[in-house]
A and B are shown apart, each in its own frame.
Chain A
């Protein structure tokens, strides 16, 4: 049952991810990305982390993607699709390098930890209470650093928008 759900989700995730990068219409890409995020939430639920799965849907698919879609629709009022742009040298070098790095990290993790070597999930794994406790004890500093990062990003965005207006 779990294996079946996994393969269905995997198929949907990969297919929608391919649509995101290959489709020429940005709105279709955005919707495919939203679909992709929801299917990844399915993986979280399958792994027993239902709280993270629900947050993934609520925050990423429900809020962030809606904003992205809003911006695309606002900027993309012209009927024609944009012309195909050939990637520059910078992009051609950086994109494969970034992909390779990610693949190495992922491959290393998969190589080291097979399902047999991983410890079983702890009591209450994936519930809001346990996750919250972990966030405010063990992962306190990373958590605060991330929130600081978000504030910096927000202030930066406001600053850039203001400069354009005046």
Chain B
């Protein structure tokens, strides 16, 4: 293999990993500040300007904490679970195109780490493995609260993965490809070319967003942790950096879910309007557009979290199996009809 290509691949991985981790730290600050504003209080504002250095203080605190392993815990799985939470979350981001193909030192570099034919499936396969962390953490802690959290998470993930994947299948039907870069390329030009603006797919977008909240265990679907009943759910027994790893995984999962939604429905890195620029100014603007769209989704996550109460368990299951699943099947059938008879679907 070409050594420069390998170097570029490493650089991209390094860049994406660090930006993601930085974004996770920043998001913990955003979440606490926004929740403060929503609840008419200030939130953390003492460490650094506007409290911006709070995540660093938190990180130092996490590292200093004692790493507690309960006596009854099944040690191998107990220690492994936090890593199992973070790694699949990061894996999924590999296939997401975060920018156009740029020219760097006379070499064409597509701004995606792995551009493969089944890219979308890769993303979902990776996120599907994330549930093991929650289940194993819950089981290995040997605590009833943790176990309940783990059980709930496995049931919830299975229930909401179906509508999630079915909403994607509809998009794939329209796009005729599983390659994320091609799906983004098809949404070029004005913003009405974005999948979300093509009529029926808007329903898919709603389904994807709702199921995405359930898959990332965010309010109103945070039953695996449900602090009111389960203390902290599957990570009740964890402390220090191991707890922080679960926390990080949740935020990385939010980013991945947002980025997938942006790629599939909101045109990925496309600006949504033509501009008279080319070269680096245009590319920088497009990368900025991707970041802005993902940031909007992140804000939405926080907004919803501090607006809606948590579902009851039976409500959660009813919504998943009797609400979202039938609607997503209808969505799929409607999209299939549109594609078959070629109604206003531009391929």
Residues of A within 8 A of B (CB): 25, 27-28, 31, 34, 38, 50-51, 54-55, 57-58, 61-63, 66-67, 69-70, 73-74, 77, 79, 127-128
Whether A66 contacts B131 by the Cβ 8 Å rule is yes
**Chain A residue contacts of B129, Cβ below 8 A:** 38, 57, 61-62
**Chain A residue contacts of B121, Cβ below 8 A:** 51, 54-55, 58
**Chain A residue contacts of B154, Cβ below 8 A:** 66-67, 69-70, 73
**Chain B residue contacts of A74, Cβ below 8 A:** 151
Known: A31-B136, A73-B151. A51 touches B128 (CB 8 A): no
A6 to chain B, nearest CB (A): 18
**Chain A residue contacts of B118, Cβ below 8 A:** 50-51, 54, 127-128
Chain B binding surface, main DSSP class: helix
B169 to chain A, nearest CB (A): 11
The CA of A28 and the CA of B131, in the complex, are separated in Å by 16
Query: What total count of A-B pairs have CB within 8 Å?
Result: 72
New A-B pairs, 19, CB < 8 Å, besides A70-B151, A73-B147: A27-B74, A27-B77, A27-B139, A31-B136, A34-B132, A51-B118, A54-B122, A58-B121, A61-B125, A62-B124, A62-B128, A62-B129, A62-B131, A63-B161, A66-B131, A69-B154, A73-B154, A79-B142, A127-B118
Give the residues from 57 to 95 in chain B that come closer than 8 angstroms, CB to CB, to chain A. 74, 77
Chain A CB within 8 A of B117 CB: yes
Whether B128 contacts A58 by the Cβ 8 Å rule is yes
What are 7 contact pairs spanning A and B, CB under 8 A? A27-B74, A28-B77, A54-B122, A62-B129, A66-B157, A70-B151, A73-B154
* Contact pattern, B 108-151, Cβ under 8 Å of A = 1, otherwise 0: 00000000111001101100110110011011001000010011
**Chain B residue contacts of A34, Cβ below 8 A:** 132
Total B residues in contact with A, Cβ cutoff 8 Å: 27
**Chain B residue contacts of A67, Cβ below 8 A:** 154, 158
Residues of B within 8 A of A (CB): 74, 77, 116-118, 121-122, 124-125, 128-129, 131-132, 135-136, 138-139, 142, 147, 150-151, 154-155, 157-158, 161, 178
A57 to chain B, nearest CB (A): 4
The CA of A77 and the CA of B154, in the complex, are separated in Å by 16
The CA of A38 and the CA of B132, in the complex, are separated in Å by 13
Whether B151 contacts A51 by the Cβ 8 Å rule is no
A133 to chain B, nearest CB (A): 13
Q: Which residue of A lies closest to B77 (CB)?
A: A31
Whether B135 contacts A62 by the Cβ 8 Å rule is no
Chain A binding surface, main DSSP class: helix
**Chain A residue contacts of B124, Cβ below 8 A:** 58, 62
The CA of A51 and the CA of B119, in the complex, are separated in Å by 9
The CA of A47 and the CA of B161, in the complex, are separated in Å by 28
Q: Which residue of B lies closest to A72 (CB)?
A: B139
Q: Which residue of A lies closest to B172 (CB)?
A: A128
Whether A31 contacts B132 by the Cβ 8 Å rule is yes
Whether A73 contacts B117 by the Cβ 8 Å rule is no
Q: Which residue of B lies closest to A61 (CB)?
A: B129
Whether A66 contacts B158 by the Cβ 8 Å rule is yes
B255 to chain A, nearest CB (A): 20
Q: Which residue of B lies closest to A58 (CB)?
A: B125
Q: Which residue of B lies closest to A127 (CB)?
A: B117
**Chain B residue contacts of A73, Cβ below 8 A:** 135, 138-139, 147, 150-151, 154
Q: Which residue of A lies closest to B152 (CB)?
A: A70
**Chain A residue contacts of B157, Cβ below 8 A:** 66
**Chain A residue contacts of B155, Cβ below 8 A:** 70
Q: Which residue of B lies closest to A51 (CB)?
A: B118
**Chain A residue contacts of B131, Cβ below 8 A:** 62, 66
**Chain B residue contacts of A54, Cβ below 8 A:** 118, 121-122, 125
B85 to chain A, nearest CB (A): 14
The CA of A27 and the CA of B137, in the complex, are separated in Å by 12
**Chain B residue contacts of A69, Cβ below 8 A:** 132, 135, 154
Whether A62 contacts B147 by the Cβ 8 Å rule is no
B182 to chain A, nearest CB (A): 12
Known: A58-B121, A58-B125, A70-B154. A50 touches B116 (CB 8 A): yes
The CA of A34 and the CA of B129, in the complex, are separated in Å by 10
**Chain B residue contacts of A28, Cβ below 8 A:** 77
Q: Which residue of B lies closest to A130 (CB)?
A: B117
A32 to chain B, nearest CB (A): 11
